[in-house]
Amino acid sequence: MKWKKQDIEQYVKAKEYIDTAIIPLVPFSMGSTDDELTSLTYQNEVMDLFVDRVEREYKGRIFRLPSYTYTKSSNLENEMERLNSFYEEICKQPFKYVFYLTFDSKWKKFEKGLGGHLLWVPVMKDGDLNSEETQKLLVDQMEQVTDLIQTYWVE
Amino acid sequence: MSEDKNKQVSRRQFLNYTLTGVGGFMAAGMLAPMVRFAIDPVLQPEAGGDFVSAEIAEEDITTEPQRVTFKVEQVDAWYESTVEKVAWVYKQEDGSIIALDPTCTHLGCIVGWDSNEDHPDHFYCPCHGGLYTKDGVNVPNTPPTAPLSVYEQKIENGILYLGKSIPREEA
Ligand code: FES
């Protein structure tokens, strides 16, 4: 499900089945070097493709929530607090599993303090999204992420 | 149950491990050649009215369901995009071809053929365990209440073309 009217209409009728929420954690910056800007936007695009695909294949169980955006230079300890307040908000609906998907390895250090599960995936700094190799790589990674999510469902 | 749980946890560790050790398979992914469609012009996608090439030759379709993908233009409000669709195609007993739409009729997850150990030779939905027999008919007492939809299809120059996905009535 997506954060869209059409999907919400379906969601409210079948909440008990859509028990998994996924939120991309996306760093944002305008003050970086030009190379870094390119890299951040590339990674943001990859993230969009990535979660779109996860959502498409698991539409009936995974809800893709709006991305959590933060400035690249900000202190993640503060972000963690804000993110946890998002988490509390999400828990107002009957979700059983909340996942944060990110390419930003800095979150790893704060994993323990987060409500919900952190899924960190490595990504290239730059690349060509139209190339078949990149697409294949993304599909592989996506399958691994959804396999991982499914290990939680079995419990 | 607890053994099952342990199995899942160690599987999770394993997956986490491979996921973060991306270097190796990134290289592997780079090398995987997509030779067939690169060299065979007959198999290039080509628009034919509302039908799109599924990039599979009729003679390559067997009685075992195969997964094919094809691209269609989709319009959401005023936003136009190209989306990839999936079909499972095979020859039925009588030799005719059927192309099933793997969108689960329960809540829309994508089902896979023979993808769950406990349910071989069925379409299985990973979301809530929906099951369909080979002909796409939903198995009673699993969440879906209707069979899988079927794509319109035709063969042209020996290549399979797919069209709209047509829902079927409850069995
Ligand atoms: S979406 Fe397939 S069983 Fe629920």
Q: What is the pLDDT of residues A27-72, one digit of tens each?
A: 999 998 999 999 999 999 999 999 999 999 999 999 999 999 999 9
Of B16, B26, B108, the CB nearest to A59: B108
**Rounded (10°) angle between helices A34-57 and A132-153:** 50
pLDDT confidence of B10, banded at 50, 70, 90? confident
Average pLDDT over residues A8-19: 97
Least confident span in A58-62, A110-114, B35-39, B144-148: B35-39
- Look up residue A97 and give its amino acid: Y
Phi, psi of A147 (to 5 degrees): -60, -40
- Per CATH, the homologous superfamily of domain B52-166 is Rieske [2Fe-2S] iron-sulphur domain (2.102.10.10)
The answer to whether the beta carbons of residues A102 and A118 sit under 8 Å apart is yes
Output Rg (C-alpha) for chain B, integer angstroms. 19
- Find, in chain A, the residue whose alpha carbon is nearest to that of B77: A6
* Residue A91: strand pairing partners: none
pLDDT confidence of B49, banded at 50, 70, 90? low
Two structure tokens written together for B27: 């290289």
CB atoms B25 and A140 under 8 Å: yes
- Find, in chain B, the residue whose alpha carbon is nearest to that of A135: B29
pLDDT above 70: residue B108: yes
pLDDT above 70: residue B27: no
Neighbours of B144 (CB within 10 A): 24
Q: B60 in helix, strand or coil? A: helix
Q: Is the CB of A66 under 6 A from ligand 1?
A: no
Residue numbers of A between 78 and 137 with CB closer than 8 Å to B: 119-122, 124, 132-133, 136-137
pLDDT above 60: residue B143: yes
Q: Does A138 touch chain B (CB under 8 A)?
A: no
Average pLDDT over residues A8-21: 97
pLDDT above 80: residue B37: no
Count the domains in chain A. 1
Greatest distance between any 2 Cα atoms in chain A: 47
Q: Does A13 touch chain B (CB under 8 A)?
A: no
pLDDT above 90: residue B22: no
> B125-143 burial, b if ≥16 CB within 10 A, otherwise e?
bbbbebbbebebbbbeebb
pLDDT above 70: residue A12: yes
Helix (H) / strand (E) containing B161:
strand B159-166
Q: What is the pLDDT of residues A95-152, one digit of tens each?
A: 999 999 999 999 999 999 999 999 999 888 888 888 888 888 888 999 999 999 999 9
pLDDT confidence of A155, banded at 50, 70, 90? confident
Pocket test for ligand 1, best of B103, B105, B107, B142 (most atoms within 8 A of CB): B107
Mean model confidence pLDDT for chain B: 83
Two structure tokens written together for A146: 């959804």
CB atoms B9 and A132 under 8 Å: no
Alpha carbon distances (Å) from B37 to B44, B55, B61: 6, 8, 17
CB atoms A60 and B11 under 8 Å: no
pLDDT above 60: residue B25: no
Higher pLDDT, B81 or A113: A113
Q: How many residues does chain A have?
A: 155
The answer to whether the beta carbons of residues B73 and B49 sit under 8 Å apart is no
pLDDT above 70: residue A89: yes
User: What's the gap in Å between A61 CA and the centre of ligand 1?
Assistant: 8
Alpha carbon distances (Å) from A87 to A90, A117, B122, B135, B169: 5, 11, 38, 43, 41
Nearest CA to ligand 1 atom 1: B107
Average pLDDT over residues B118-141: 97
In chain A, residues with a C-beta closer than 8 Å to the C-beta of B75 are: none
Alpha carbon distances (Å) from A124 to A46, A51, A101, A139, B32: 10, 16, 15, 14, 18
Burial of A115 (0-12, 13-18, 19+ CB in 10 A): middle
- Look up residue B81 and give its amino acid: S
Average pLDDT over residues B126-134: 97
Q: Is the CB of B128 under 6 A from ligand 1?
A: yes
pLDDT for B4 equals 66
For chain B, the domains span 2-43, 52-166
Alpha carbon distances (Å) from A93 to A2, A4, A16, A84, B160: 15, 16, 10, 15, 45
The answer to whether the beta carbons of residues A11 and A63 sit under 8 Å apart is yes
